Structure 1
Amino acid sequence: MRLIQYLDQDQLRVAVVETSDAVRPIDIPGGTYALAQIAIDAGQPLTQVVEARLGDTLVDYQPLVDECRLLPPLTHPDPAHCLVTGTGLTHLGSADTRSAMHTKTQVTEEELTDSMRMFKLGVEGGKPAPGETGAQPEWFYKGDGDCIVAPEAALPSPAFAEDAGEEPELAGLYLVGADGTPWRVGYAIGNEFSDHVTERFNYLWLAHSKLRACSVGPELLIGDLPAHLEGVSRIVRDGATLWEKPFLTGEENMAHSLANLEHHHFKYAGFRRPGDVHVHFFGTATLSFADGIQPRDGDRFEIELSAFGRPLRNPLRLEANSVDCRVSPL
């Protein structure tokens, strides 16, 4: 089952994706957030809660795309209560990349870079047995719900940015229950969108490079995630494909299990605040930046995974003016 959220005369609506051309609205105010709350409180599967509230009408899907009425598939009524985070160095990548990485790890501990040491930890201990604690991954913060851009909407890159590059990823979307238990509502395609030039200059600037907009959706996959997923990431410029590359994700292509990544995020009490939404990016191994691509204003990022229905598409908007950030004394 896949869900979308969209605007209907300025009202938030949620719908089940019936076909590639049609969605069936669900009779409930409050969207996916309200559905998930009901499922948690009632102790019922989300699919059961959805099926009990399906409407009788179908809505054409394409106008929602063309009119930019799509929203992220899970939102919080107060964006400050949505935390956007992620983990890096989690994917094995292609066979060539994996081979190169493994070659680089066959050196003494003193010769390893911090990044390769982190990757090696994941390869050796990122998929622990049930009941055991695995290796801790790299972790980063992106912002609150205001940094999430809707599908088809422009991804803004601040004037001070050195780069504006896509990162095609899976994202887990969560809601914390009243007793502090995190519940995974589902998975979505994500464009984690980062400043790779800033990150490359010094890895201690990773935190700065991640404080950017991002996008997830348009569809939320409910239920089990396939262990092997093959997708395509591309950049379209002036109507033509500038760059395109396949990418792999899912646990078979990762150094860490999803359960391990989730554990090391939600083990912090501050991330188990009842009612909060979390959007957590699981990492990638494919970037246009690695191929020397420099996105321009107006380029469109497109990320496709067949299991997730429609692609996630966002044009790039380079902001020309810097914000005056001087602090005023009281």
Structure 2
Amino acid sequence: MRLIQILTEGGERAVVATTGPAGAESSAIVPGHRTVYDLARAAIAARSSIEAVVEAAGKGESVDRAALLASGRVLAPIDHPDPAHLLITGTGLTHLGSASARDAMHKTVAAAEETLTDSMKMFRMGIEGGKPAAGKVGVQPEWFYKGDGALLVGPGQPLTAPSFAQDGGEEPEVAGIYIIADDGRPFRIGFALANEFSDHVMERVNYLYLAHSKLRPCSVGPELLVGALPDDVRGRSRILRDDKVIFDEPFLSGEANMSHTLANLEHHHFKYDFFRRPGQVHVHTYGTATLSVAFGIRTEPGDVFEIESEAFGLPLRNALAYAPEESVTVTAL
């Protein structure tokens, strides 16, 4: 099952569920539930699954998801009534990449300890300890904070870099979407495609600038996959300039292509009690091994990022924009 959030022709919020086998899917509005947030809370209250709640609600009006996306009426697949209670975070150095890149990485991490960068040391830690036995805790991954719900951008909306940014680069990823129950228990709602937009030029100046480079918008969607994440997720990451493709490379995700289990990433995020406050929503990106900047691409305003994977239905597209320069003055009280 996949879910999207939309605006109806009358401007009302609605949730659409896509069900059925590949090639014979149908999409219909879920009666009685205006948002995925409400749907998830209803499932928790009923001690049920989201799929069971959707099934019990019945089928409303059938819709054409592609037409809705083209009309600009598809929203991010998750949000929160108060954006400050939606947190966007992520992990890095978690993906092995393609077979050739994987071989190169393994050869590199076998080098003498004194020759390794801090990033490569952390990557090696993940390879050696990121997939513990069931019930065990593995090594913690690199972790970063991106922002709150005010920085969550819907499909088709621009990813706007600040005027002082040195780069606006895509990061094609899978994000886990979570909600915290009233008793503090974290529940995973599902998974979505994500463009974990970053400033890679700034980051390359010094890895200690990573925190600055991540304070950017993030886009997820259009669809939210309910249920298990496929072990081997395959997709494409593209950049279009003036309707011409200037970058087109595969991206891989899923545990078969990662140095950490999802359970390990989730443990090391939710082990902090302030990430388990009732009602919170978390968008947690899992990382990537495919970046256009690594291929020498320098993005420009107006470039369109396109991320797609068959497992997630509709593609995620966002154009690059830059905010106007502004002056910030701190005034003493």
C-alpha distance after superposition, 1:45-98 (max 9, x if no partner): 110001111333212223321221111111111100000000000000012211
Tell me if 1:142 matches 2:146. yes
Give the share of equivalent positions with the same residue, in percent: 56
Alignment of 1:195-206 (within 5 A): 195-206=199-210
Q: Structure 2 residue aligned with 1:322, among 306, 320, 325? A: 325
Q: Counterpart amino acid of 2:329?
A: R
Q: Secondary structure at the match of 1:273?
A: coil
Q: Counterpart amino acid of 2:30?
A: I
Q: Counterpart amino acid of 1:17?
A: T
Alignment of 1:1-330 (within 5 A): 1-8=1-8, 9-18=10-19, 23-319=27-323, 321-330=324-333
Q: Counterpart amino acid of 2:6?
A: Y
**Could you tell which deviates more after superposition, 67-76 or 283-292?**
67-76
Q: Compute the TM-score of the two structures, normalised by the length of structure 1.
A: 0.97
Contact 1:186 1:222 in 2 (8 A): yes
Q: Counterpart amino acid of 1:4?
A: I
Q: How many residues end up aligned between the 2 structures? A: 329
C-alpha distance after superposition, 1:252-277 (max 9, x if no partner): 00000000000000000000001000
CA distance in 2, matches of 1:21, 1:213: 32
Deviation at residue 228 of structure 1 after TM alignment:
0.5
**Could you tell which deviates more after superposition, 238-247 or 283-292?**
238-247
Q: What are structure 2's unaligned runs of at least 5 residues?
A: none
Q: Secondary structure at the match of 1:52?
A: helix
Q: What are structure 1's unaligned runs of at least 5 residues?
A: none
Contact 2:30 2:60 in 1 (8 A): no
CA distance in 2, matches of 1:210, 1:242: 24
Q: Counterpart amino acid of 1:203?
A: Y
Q: Secondary structure at the match of 2:40?
A: helix
Deviation at residue 296 of structure 1 after TM alignment:
1.0
CA distance in 1, matches of 2:24, 2:77: 16
C-alpha distance after superposition, 1:16-38 (max 9, x if no partner): 12579963001124411111001
Q: Secondary structure at the match of 2:54?
A: helix
Q: State the superposition RMSD in angstroms.
A: 1.4
CA distance in 2, matches of 1:101, 1:117: 11
Contact 1:20 1:309 in 2 (8 A): no
